[in-house]
Structure 1
Amino acid sequence: MPFAHLKTPLLITLTCLWMTGCSTINQDTSTEHPAAGIGDPICWSQLPNWHEDTALQAIPALESQCPRLGKQSEWSNFCEALTNHTPIDEEGIRQLLESHFVPHRINGNNGNNRGLFTGYYEPTLNGSYQRSDRYYYPLYQRPPSMLQLELGSRFPDLKNQRVRGLLKGNKVVPFYDRAAIDGANKPLAGNEILWVDDADAAFFLHIQGSGRVQLPDGTMVAVGYADQNGQPYVAIGKILIERGELTPQEVSLQTINDWLKSHPKEADELKNHNPSYVFFTLRNDVESGPRGSLNVPLTQERSVAVDRRVIPLGTPLWINTTLPDNTPYQRLMVAQDTGGAINGPIRADIFFGRGNRAEKLAGEMKQKGEIYALIPKESSKSAESAECK
């Protein structure tokens, strides 16, 4: 969980996290460009290569959210049809979508309709329930001392913002940052749920938002995003660029990890520039994979993290982008996660699953592309569809 993030997945991640701060939504008020966000309806024929995708692979993602969304009037007919329409083939799933949804282009800021696509994955670490000389680096649960502050009703700018604090005497102060949590005083001692053998792997787990941990006896356990300390995310890849250690073209999960391994004395100092810290919970769904902000299991290369202020969670999306090797990547996905760095109308973080391929793609993905939202016909925003021949 783009982080899972953020929740997660989180839903934290890569190039935007490594290199730059992500822009927030900027509603364009000029008359030259349409407002940023979900735009007017378009024809299905305007979706690039709509008939070329193996859309059947997206059915698990769509089915997983129907128990939640199917209770809403705009989703009930589709979910009922999806459940009863079996077996179904490629053309059948497309016809089902076309009969229940209307495609809309997502407009970007200032008329720029191409945004940034990054990726995240579910890593596997080595760990133990017991601390030892090998398993020395903790994964913490959400500390009971951390306060969750809801201030949106009094301060509108803080609505939907993650505000976390700590009670010191009769004052609430910001919660500990990364340097304090991992520092010599260990203020969260006693909140460990697991210990892992690689400090850098633990750092990247915070960015991915969820993962699996293999225990000494070979047993696999899973951890998921529980909360975050409320501190801002700072991209350490950007710092390495500013220091001349890496170029923007070189920055990826892999190159940053290589730098940390080759500079062990400087690694903690660099990581502490990112004060954000993630807390975890043990998951019982080791095989099904992590859950996103919609609280449904993420589907490999079919679930995506978005800015929920622009795109409602659960929305089917048609994405038009490329993979890092510039192979066209046009497919049906579902908005099922969010992430702290996933901000803006055309901004998406693709869940690539687990394994070597997923790690490579997630680490290197920093492509430009377009997003189209498939809005239920019953929704007021899609009451009038485009005039299509």
Structure 2
Amino acid sequence: MADSFPAHLTPLAFDDLEGWADDDHAAALIAFRRTCVQSAERAPRTRSSGVDGQALAAVCASLQDNATVDARVFFETHFTPHRVEAQGLLTGYFEPQVRASFERTGAFQHPLYARPVDLVELSSSPESLGIDDDVTWGRSTDSGFEAFPDRAAIMNGALDGQNLELVYLQDPIDAFFIHIQGSARLAMTDGSVQRINFAGKSGHHYTPIGRTLVDWGELALEDVTMDSLRSWLAAASPDDRDAVLATN
């Protein structure tokens, strides 16, 4: 286990997991197969977790070669459960549904963008490319890589004129949280329901707007929640709202 991972992991047996024998192993295997799609092209980045990305990719490869595997046996063969002991923050995830339009019209003025063709994940260390060491994605140019525009620059029009707009939303706050969550269901004005998913990111260091509002004295740290953030943004003037969003 990497020293930088701030947790203590204790190996367990699967029999130690309450409810494991009665769990829906087949459903879990379906979900795991989906996570394996990208690892077929490149080993997953596991950062400081201590997990061997190459080994995980090998497990995915073995699964692709065997379409009729016993789900419970598969997990018990290839994985070891651990008890995680650490101090930290638990966050939740959900897939929101919002109204959207394929055309910019009426109240639908706030775009969600497709991934620009020149936005790529860096295959080399940022230091070797001569850019900030916290940049993980960048713009590919004829002369090499450079930092991609950050949120503030994009809000000021850095992506305008490239025909990247996929859909338009009514609320810029909805657009912001879809960026953070990485996916959403879109109830389109034509009656269809579409799904949108993460395709890339600007690559800059992540700064949560909750931290911004705490630093600015607008919220107490213990009061920062999804609901409190949305409430503050909804009540703020457009200029104040955009100033906060631009720090992310």
State TM-score, norm by structure 2.
0.71
- Rounded to whole Å, the distance in 2 between the matches of 1:120 and 1:159 is 28
Match of 1:43 in 2: 13
- Rounded to whole Å, the distance in 2 between the matches of 1:84 and 1:211 is 32
Structure 1 segment 14-53 matched on structure 2, within 5 A: 27=3, 41-47=11-17, 49-51=18-20
- Rounded to whole Å, the distance in 2 between the matches of 1:104 and 1:133 is 52
**One-letter amino acid of the counterpart of residue 137, structure 2:** V
Unmatched segments (≥5 aa) in structure 2: 41-55
1:54 to 18, 23, 31: 23
Q: Does 1:248 align with 2:234?
A: no
Structure 1 segment 39-118 matched on structure 2, within 5 A: 41-47=11-17, 49-51=18-20, 54-56=23-25, 57-62=27-32, 64=34, 72=58, 76=62, 80=66, 83=68, 85=70, 96=73, 100-101=77-78, 103-105=80-82, 113-118=86-91
Asked whether the 8 Å contact 1:151–1:159 carries over to 2, the reply is no
Shift of 1:174: 2.3
Q: Which moved more, 1:53-62 or 1:122-131?
A: 53-62
- Rounded to whole Å, the distance in 2 between the matches of 1:83 and 1:172 is 44
Match of 1:165 in 2: 139
Shift of 1:203: 0.4
Match of 2:117 in 1: 144
Match of 2:53 in 1: none
Matched-pair identity in %: 25
**One-letter amino acid of the counterpart of residue 44, structure 1:** F
Structure richer in strand, relative to its length: 1
Unmatched segments (≥5 aa) in structure 1: 1-24, 29-34, 86-92, 275-389
- Rounded to whole Å, the distance in 1 between the matches of 2:91 and 2:211 is 16
After superposition, give the CA deviation of every residue in 1:157-211 in whole Å (9 maximum; x if it has no partner): 99996131375x968642212122112x454333212111111100001001121
Structure 1 segment 214-225 matched on structure 2, within 5 A: 214-225=187-198
- Rounded to whole Å, the distance in 2 between the matches of 1:42 and 1:27 is 21
Shift of 1:54: 3.4
**RMSD over aligned Cα, in angstroms?**
4.1
- Rounded to whole Å, the distance in 2 between the matches of 1:250 and 1:241 is 9
**One-letter amino acid of the counterpart of residue 162, structure 1:** T
After superposition, give the CA deviation of every residue in 1:2-31 in whole Å (9 maximum; x if it has no partner): xxxxxxxxxxxxxxxxxxxxxxx9616xxx
Asked whether the 8 Å contact 2:126–2:136 carries over to 1, the reply is no
**One-letter amino acid of the counterpart of residue 100, structure 1:** T
- Rounded to whole Å, the distance in 2 between the matches of 1:97 and 1:38 is 26
Shift of 1:106: 6.0
In structure 2, the CA distance between the partners of 1:159 and 1:272, relative to structure 1 (3 Å rule), is closer
Structure 1 segment 1-389 matched on structure 2, within 5 A: 27=3, 41-47=11-17, 49-51=18-20, 54-56=23-25, 57-62=27-32, 64=34, 72=58, 76=62, 80=66, 83=68, 85=70, 96=73, 100-101=77-78, 103-105=80-82, 113-146=86-119, 149-152=122-125, 155=128, 162-165=136-139, 173-183=146-156, 185-189=157-161, 190-265=163-238, 266-274=240-248
After superposition, give the CA deviation of every residue in 1:270-290 in whole Å (9 maximum; x if it has no partner): 10111xxxxxxxxxxxxxxxx
In structure 2, the CA distance between the partners of 1:244 and 1:165, relative to structure 1 (3 Å rule), is same
Aligned residue for 1:260, secondary structure, equals helix
- Rounded to whole Å, the distance in 2 between the matches of 1:126 and 1:145 is 29
- Rounded to whole Å, the distance in 1 between the matches of 2:68 and 2:147 is 47
**One-letter amino acid of the counterpart of residue 252, structure 1:** T
**One-letter amino acid of the counterpart of residue 27, structure 1:** D
In structure 2, the CA distance between the partners of 1:61 and 1:262, relative to structure 1 (3 Å rule), is same
Aligned residue for 1:201, secondary structure, equals helix
In structure 2, the CA distance between the partners of 1:53 and 1:116, relative to structure 1 (3 Å rule), is farther
**One-letter amino acid of the counterpart of residue 268, structure 1:** D
**One-letter amino acid of the counterpart of residue 112, structure 2:** L
- Rounded to whole Å, the distance in 1 between the matches of 2:225 and 2:138 is 30
In structure 2, the CA distance between the partners of 1:147 and 1:37, relative to structure 1 (3 Å rule), is same
Higher relative contact order (CA 8 A, sep 6+): 1
In structure 2, the CA distance between the partners of 1:151 and 1:159, relative to structure 1 (3 Å rule), is farther
- Rounded to whole Å, the distance in 1 between the matches of 2:230 and 2:169 is 16
Asked whether the 8 Å contact 1:44–1:50 carries over to 2, the reply is no
State TM-score, norm by structure 1.
0.48
Asked whether the 8 Å contact 1:200–1:260 carries over to 2, the reply is yes
